[in-house]
Amino acid sequence: MSSSSRIASSNCHSASAPADFPQSSISIMTCDLSNAANLSSHMQQYTTARIKFLLKQQPSTYTVFGFPAKKLENTKEFKKIDGFTSCEKCYETFSYTSTAGTRNMLSHSCVKNLSNTKITTFTSSSSSSQRKFNDMMKTYKKVKLSEQELNTVKNLVSSWICHDMRSFKIIEDLGLKDLLQEFIVLGSKFGEFDVSCALRGAGTISNHIYDLVDDYRLKLKDILREPLDTGAIYVSPDLWSDDHKEISYLGITATFTTSNYEYKTVDLCCKPFVGDDHSGKNILIAIQKALEPYDIYDLTKLSFISDRDKCCIKSSSSCKNRARFSSPISQLVINKLRSSRNFLFTNSGLSKR
């Protein structure tokens, strides 16, 4: 055999053999393992676009494994060595036939490492974009704390709740659990440390939220576009007043299903109501302005949900398709929206509609 060696691949990738491997004219040719025998006879069936698509759809096995091939003397051509496949990364070789399957290759460490790398990359991207919409949750090991350790935690939680007059339910908040879990992860990395190194003040967090708003709105616009076009989105506006601060607030919640039939609920806004009064005209303007950042301009594409069923039933007595949000949202808002006839009323009034 000649003293030169390199890895040859049908997709033009190549790599040198490890230093501790004896050099030879044996190389690895990468191609679809299931159709390699008939590859040359079916070339006319392929186009550049189809080959690109097939390469993108290749399982991890075909990304790592190829056929060993021997270089023909005095030529640049390679002849496949039938009955074997080899890893392009570590050169581990397995027996292979078209009917043998790929079980051994799938269990190979290089294939597993490639799959884990793809999963890690996807998880990191999903987490950075928006954790609330993530579909992959990391599981942590369960531990059994001593009674003394549990009492210490309970004492700290009780002191925190009572000292600041907080709701008992706050301890069950998912956001708090995520925060505590992240501190445990940091603790496993740095050991015991002062948490003030990681925690930031109210002003810093407030400013950071403003930094996140535009990014989250862009993502929500993309998420809402498909259910909005297909009429699969329901919007629930709510208006209430803070008697202490003498400020009214407008909140809007969207409920929808995705193209994959996933049920989602998201708060689109919770902001002070700045209208001169609670007239229907001003409330309609406020709703429209609150939805515009999400590229929602045509309110007739939306279905509206209200749980104020008593007032709605009373106002609907003269016209079945006339709905009315309870005061202070006046009939003017409904007259603008009712043309779509997309109103749903929850609670007992639904059966009387």
The secondary structure of the chain, three-state, reads CCCCCCCCCCCCCCCCCCCCCCCCCEEEECCCCCCHHHCHHHHHHCCHHHHHHHHHCCCHHHHHEEEEEEECCCCCCEEECCCEEEECCCCCEEECCCCCCCHHHHCCHHHHHHHHHHHHHHHHHHHHHCHHHCCCCCCCCCCCCCHHHHHHHHHHHHHHHHHCCCCHHHHHCHHHHHHHHHHHHHHHHHCCCCHHHCCCCHHHHHHHHHHHHHHHHHHHHHHHHHHHHCCCEEEEEEEEEECCCCEEEEEEEEEEECCCCCEEEEEEEEEECCCCCCCHHHHHHHHHHHHHHHCCCCHHHCEEEECCHHHHHHHCCCCCCCCCCCCCCCHHHHHHHHHHCCEEECCHHHHHC
Calpha distance 34→97 (Å, rounded): 9
Residue at 42 is within a domain? yes
61 and 105 co-located in one domain: yes
214: in domain? no
Do 340 and 294 lie in one domain? The reply is yes
CATH number, domain of 157, equals 1.10.10
- pLDDT tens by residue, 240-252: 888 888 888 889 9
**Are 43 and 77 contained in the same domain?**
yes
- Judge contact between 101 and 22, C-beta under 8 A: no
Is residue 8, in this structure, part of any structural domain at all?
A: no
Domain end residue (candidates: 65, 94, 112): 112
**pTM check: above 0.75:** no
Percent of the chain with pLDDT over 70: 57
Question: Does some domain include residue 246?
Answer: yes
Condensed to tens digits (0 to 9), the pLDDT of residues 311-345 reads: 333 333 333 333 334 333 444 444 444 444 444 44
Task: Find out whether 268 and 254 touch, Cβ atoms under 8 Å.
Answer: yes
**Residue ending a domain, choose from 56, 84, 112:** 112
Whether residue 86 is contained in a domain is answered as yes
The confidence score (pLDDT) of residue 316 equals: 34
Average pLDDT of the chain, as a whole number: 69
The answer on 334 and 224 residing in a single domain is yes
**Do 186 and 230 have their domain in common?**
no
Q: Are residues 232 and 185 in the same domain?
A: no
Residues 226 and 346 in one domain: yes
Give me the number of domains the chain comprises.
3
Residue 318 located in a structural domain: yes
Contact status, residue 5 vs residue 26, Cβ threshold 8 Å: yes
**Do 92 and 62 share a structural domain?**
yes
Other C-beta atoms within 10 Å of 127: how many?
A: 12
Is residue 237 located within the same domain as residue 195?
Answer: no
Mean pLDDT of 137-141: 70
Domain edge (last residue) among 62, 84, 112: 112
Under the banding of pLDDT at 50, 70 and 90, the label for residue 152 is very high
Q: Are 312 and 349 in contact (CB under 8 A)?
A: yes
Pull the structure tokens for residue 230. Answer: 């297909």
Residues 154 and 99 in one domain: no
Q: Is residue 16 part of a domain?
A: no
- Both 42 and 157 in one domain: the answer is no
243/288 same-domain check: yes
Residue span of the structural domain in which 173 resides: 148-199
Judge whether 336 and 325 are in contact, CB under 8 Å: no
Domain-embedded: residue 136: no
